[in-house]
Amino acid sequence: MNNSIKRMVTMAILTALSLVLMALIKFPILPAAPYLIYEPADVPILIGTFMFGPFAGVLMSIVVSAIQATLFSGDGWVGFVMHVIATGVFATTAGLIYKKFHSRKGAIIALALGTLAMAAVMVPVNLIVQPNFYGVSYDVVVKLIVPVIIPFNLIKAGINSIITMIVYKTVSKVVKML
């Protein structure tokens, strides 16, 4: 099979898997914010990012976010933008680092820094989006940063990083055999 076709097919399969995981597995992480839902959709995106680079990760993030906003979420375009930013920053950071340090240690560092980048970026994003689009007072959002927003993003990205580390090698070996 042509390499570019194989790459596109693999990315499409990972994107579809991301959507299936998003639809099937979701639950709140923090009792203080039951509206913040964990779902493992970033795992296939991170696998695609590690296999094909940061651009592929961002592209997959955009496609998954668009379908999520259309089919799975009532957040519409605002949810789309927030999901693209969160997953895009996570995947881009991890992908750029893993591309430079292509090893197990590099993957661990990449995922750790991607997790931190996502958590850091989602603070100003929430400070802008929550008051302007969801009607939550700016003061309320500020009070949620340390006990809710940062921990949620660290936990979600951390879980997805651990799962990615566990399954990446197996998935990449299967893809290479095709």
The pLDDT tens digits for 69-120 are 888 776 789 989 999 999 999 999 999 999 999 999 999 999 999 999 999 9
> Which residues, other chains included, contact 95 with Cβ-Cβ below 8 Å and sequence gap of 6+?
49, 50, 53, 54, 56, 57, 110
Query: What DSSP assignment string belongs to 119-149?
Result: HHHHHHHHHHHHHHHS---HHHHHHHIIIII
Beta bridge partners of 28: 37
The pLDDT tens digits for 19-49 are 999 999 999 999 988 989 999 999 999 999 9
Report the predicted TM-score, pTM, of the whole model to 2 decimal places.
Answer: 0.94
Q: Domains, the chain, ranges and CATH?
A: 3-19+41-168 (1.10.1760.20)
Three-class secondary structure of residue 38 per DSSP:
strand
Three-class secondary structure of residue 74 per DSSP:
coil
Tell me the C-alpha distance between 145 and 147, whole Å.
6
